Amino acid sequence: MNLLTEVAPRSIKIEGQLYEIDADFRNCIKFEQLMFDPDVPDNARGGLALNLFYPVIPQNITEAFQKVLWFYAAEQNEKKQHGASRQKRIYSFEADADYIFAAFLGDYGIDLNDINFLHWWKFRALFFGLKPDNLICKIMEYRATDISKMKGEERKFYQKMQREFALPVPRAEQDKYDEIADALMKGGDISSLMSNP
């Protein structure tokens, strides 16, 4: 798909029939949050995702969900998708919302609160095209930087930035840390806590 020569899709073809989808960037951000939410049971994610995207859910549920993934990935090829999924997360639409909002307003004059609709594929193109001097771009660089081979002041700087701009720990993981800390403060046994995932 080339946004310069083709119109970004607002429907998806499944078994020869076109199905309208909610292609707004807000909806895809909700989808991403759904996929990363540790409080949502795995067996519920697919159904919730279909309800987000389709006003009328197709009969072929499996293909409908595959098309959601295809749409979310903005038609990137499978190799790119798999490569990206193994990379460390360097942004969060939830944790970084203010930085992203400010960057869109600064670079493009787009108030993401005021627009009624912005296609997800266009939003992605704009997001990945933000100027490198935006704070969100610098934060993503800090998070992505491998400091294992760095030394001295450079390493200290990046360690500080990675701590300062670290993405929040998922709630379930934080609860586990809190349980362990509480047990340690009370002088309790943490062996059972350490063995459970």
pLDDT tens-digit series, residues 137-175: 999 999 999 999 999 999 999 999 999 999 987 665 555
- Please report, for the chain, the start and end positions of each structural domain, with discontinuous segments joined by +: 11-85, 97-164, 170-197
- State the pTM of this model: 0.79
Concatenating the DSSP letter of every residue in 68-95 gives: HHHHHTTT--HHHHHHHHTSPP---TTT
DSSP 112: T
pLDDT tens-digit series, residues 115-144: 999 999 999 999 999 999 999 999 999 999
